[in-house]
Structure 1
């Protein structure tokens, strides 16, 4: 048996003893070194996650989709050279044979699993994880366990930067300074893009090296070549369209708890391209490369690393007493 965090109902979470996973055909078993806690995990805990209401997720849930670890065993058909390698993996696991998967869009496969989110694959907030080998990504030696657990959110951020379609010297405005917003800022800056952020607390983002962080009241009247909405404010999708330069792009990755109101006439009359981002899949490899090269160091975003026994408290909103200013809490399942 091993320890794993189990969500048993809205607002209910506990560490349970569960069977140790065995690698079936096409799978590996990973010793989890670090797992991140994100907003999706919190929504699963509170019961607000839309998947719980649409029926693709149900309690009990074993969460955790941001992770790093070491492969300890492989199943039938998996190259044994994976054993002992440090890895992370994709959250989106497609069926592999539908039209979308064949076209390279497995992250929107109608039958997909989402690790630790949709029913079907138990997540990484556990001592060990069974995971399909086809969706593994090897971690270079220069990417430690902490950075490895940030690859998944960074993959989402990487897709935001790619979707913004900016070149060096152009100006990007990011709405929101959570983990995704700050990772988007880091990755964009590494490309030579001029980065600005909109925040309720500008000093927070400025402490991570982004002096051009503004409130709504202080936001300068500049031409914004692209806008990324990484917030959960229902009014900000419309603001993004109003701010972006005509003929340019708005990228949406944040989700509000209530429906957002956006007048499509505003987008049409400005000839704005809007892009939605679901999942990190296509961004994982470039995010790993950015971490490995040192052009982006995500580790300052980690406020604290705590044991599995404290994970339920983190989901409930309790910030560890030792936490620094960063937005991300990691779990070390070995303690």
Structure 2
């Protein structure tokens, strides 16, 4: 089968590889859509932290946001899965350590991450092997496009839950990328007053096209003299954003960190203590996948406008290198359809 393979920093190609076999407890999915995210571009550039820690190494087959149809099953798998449309969890814990037993498989020290960690192949390929325990069925209203957005949606949903804003309360979302915009959409659907903070006016233009009229840039946004927020979600890659979020939030409320900067991002814990603020870190969509599917299926959240284009595997190298066609506009998400030629 054809698969996209990153062979080293700045080097990638579509290769012919052996198709996966359905191992016991696993299925093989025909991939219909796979999303490209910041983690994938970091693998291409060589900036991905796992490459330095040894948790990942080249060659890498990326792709952890996906949707498709089950075509094969391994021993011990219910035959009813064949033909079902699915997406699935990226994080594959060992299943028997204390963290996995407690439902925190996404934090398992020995976990595999599809398309990311410990050599588990990703979804930028025609077929993908997945443990059946990681699967999430997709209802009819959630097509392949929405299915590929379930993983980022699950991340965003977990961040909104951690922010714990009630209807009418004010939420600051820092970073108008895919996760930030999804968090804004989810929070708005739940009745929150959403404000978005970006680096430039251009970065916020797309957010305003989605109806988010309360937008800010820094400067002139001043977290000390400016408005106070009932919660803040940092979905950016800026090293200074955590400290800014901490200053902007009301005392006694929550700050959620889901973005990662390339360098240490510092926040003064004295401010955290003196403001009695709760800080929450969010890693992965685990625990938020089913909720994201429900939001999409019900129509409460429609993330389709976030998709700029769908391209074949042969264009994946250009996408992960950051190249965009002028006609794609400012929507942040590019999808790959491995069936296209």
Instruction: Give the shorter-chain TM-score range.
Output: over 0.9
Deviation for aligned residue 1:213: 1.1
What's the CA shift string for 1:74-94, capped at 9, x where partnerless? 000001111111000000000
Normalising by structure 2, we get a TM-score of 0.96
Give secondary structure in 1 for the equivalent of 2:308: strand
1:229-248 matched pairs, under 5 angstroms = 229-248=234-253
* Alignment pair present for 1:163 and 2:162: yes
Give secondary structure in 2 for the equivalent of 1:258: coil
User: 2:298 corresponds to which residue?
Assistant: 293
Deviation for aligned residue 1:41: 0.4
- Alpha carbons 2:34, 2:64 under 8 Å: kept: yes
| RMSD of aligned alpha carbons | 1.0
User: 2:312 corresponds to which residue?
Assistant: 307
* Alignment pair present for 1:209 and 2:211: yes
User: 2:30 corresponds to which residue?
Assistant: 31
Deviation for aligned residue 1:222: 2.2
Normalising by structure 1, we get a TM-score of 0.98
Deviation for aligned residue 1:261: 1.7
Q: Provide structure 2 residue ranges, at least 5 long, that are not aligned to the other structure.
A: none
Q: CA–CA distance in 2 between the matches of 1:49 and 1:181? A: 20
- Alpha carbons 2:57, 2:119 under 8 Å: kept: no
User: 2:61 corresponds to which residue?
Assistant: 62
Q: CA–CA distance in 1 between the matches of 2:219 and 2:52? A: 37
- Alpha carbons 1:290, 1:296 under 8 Å: kept: yes
Q: CA–CA distance in 2 between the matches of 1:113 and 1:322? A: 37
1:217-232 matched pairs, under 5 angstroms = 217-219=219-221, 221-232=226-237
- Alpha carbons 1:304, 1:322 under 8 Å: kept: no
1:316 to 315, 321, 333: 321
Q: CA–CA distance in 2 between the matches of 1:167 and 1:266? A: 24
Aligned length: 334
1:281 to 283, 286, 295: 286
User: 1:272 corresponds to which residue?
Assistant: 277
Q: CA–CA distance in 1 between the matches of 2:5 and 2:330? A: 28
Q: CA–CA distance in 1 between the matches of 2:105 and 2:98? A: 9
Q: CA–CA distance in 2 between the matches of 1:216 and 1:44? A: 29
User: 1:330 corresponds to which residue?
Assistant: 335
Larger displacement relative to structure 2 (317-326 or 14-23): 317-326
What's the CA shift string for 1:87-115, capped at 9, x where partnerless? 00000000000000000100000000010
Give secondary structure in 2 for the equivalent of 1:210: coil
